[in-house]
Amino acid sequence: MSWRRPIRILCSALVLLSAAPALPRPVPEPAAAQRVDIAAHVTEASQRFGIPEHWIYAVMRVESAGRIGAVSSAGAMGLMQLMPGTWARQRARFGLGSDPFDPRDNIMAGTSYLREMYDGYGADGFLAAYNAGPGRYADYRDKGRPLPAETRAYVGRIAPMLQNGSSPPLAAGASPLPVVRTSWTQAALFALRSDTPETSAAFAAERDPADPPLASARAPSGLFAPVSGRRLP
């Protein structure tokens, strides 16, 4: 019958279409990371807790590569890589907000903790205590328990970055900080570098577009630092 021929043609066309290779789909360009201004937060934390600004930038560089949403395999969070318990304690003590990834609050909490470690363990031990935890460092100091390889490498990398630069005005009641001593890091197990001191002009913090929105986002202006991911190379 005459109606069968058009149906056969249509079926043949459908078979050919199903056998045709699929056209490649264009890959969307990844969204660019957002730069976030943290210079004012670093200055505020520096003046409040008596820690040099370039120390704070150095810690953020080595700890998180300046990525605001950084989360380590151990669960450390944000620019200063604070463990949940440390964040909760510092947040309650200093009246900070609820978001551990908020740049200002993370920097304030991390800098206050860095100051506590300095006051508790001095120039020789505060970096190791910050990275490994005060209990782990106390075991190293008092019982000779070896520090984790990650902590030894961390101190070996960051200590030379803290050697130069001017100290900020001290907070009321804060004692002056002597030069960081690196004598205990001179052994071969420490890979010392000759990094120049960190400054806001040399440091950038970025926020990955995939990260949840910040609780208190601030408009970027001037000097910057990065907001997401993991550690600097």
Active site residues: 63
- CA distance linking residue 21 with residue 103, whole number of Å: 49
- Bridge partners, 71 (sequence order): 77
Q: Which residue from 33, 30, 34, 52 is spatially nearest to 43, judged by alpha carbons?
A: 52
Angle formed by the axes of helices 103-132 and 149-158, to 10°?
Answer: 120
- CA distance linking residue 60 with residue 104, whole number of Å: 13
Are 117 and 51 a contacting pair, CB within 8 Å? no
Amino acid at 13: A
